[in-house]
Amino acid sequence: MVREMSFETDRLRLESWDTALGSEQEKQALAAELEVILTPPVLRSLPEPMQLADTETAISDWVAARHAESHVLTIRDDNTTLIGLLILAASGNAEYPPTVHIGYLFSEIMWGKGFASELIGGLVAWYQDQGEGPSFLPVLHLRILRP
């Protein structure tokens, strides 16, 4: 998985959150942004290991767990506001092309605005530009539309 991954679409800017995890101050800023996004309705469709614990360190623990198991990109709008996350996890097999499991989530106020389609189109275009050809498995289709 390419850790320096970043790309833009017409309305979205994606970049690895690795830089935001570089210092304690940046981690705290990201955690504050995620508090607005990781709400019960957004997390409802996620498997149990991706739910927030009921602890004071829930957000930072959630970030650490995602960072350990996958590559995460922040999704920002034109105003640089964090509106979601893209989660990519390569399969454990050493296959080529690699299999990439895709998960994404958007803040509730962004639901139903076509961002998911734009995100996936941008992701596929990025991989094509890189000359890589992974097989995509959408195993974490997170709820992005109102029920």
* 99 contacts 90 by C-beta, under 8 angstroms: yes
Give per-residue pLDDT as tens, 6-51. 999 999 999 999 877 888 898 899 999 999 999 999 998 888 888 9
Distance of CA 61 to the CA centre of its chain: 16
* 41 contacts 142 by C-beta, under 8 angstroms: no
> Cβ atoms within 10 A of the Cβ of 91, count?
13
Nearest Cα neighbor of 15 from 82, 110, 96 is 82
- pTM strictly above 0.85: no
pLDDT band for position 69 (cuts 50, 70, 90): confident
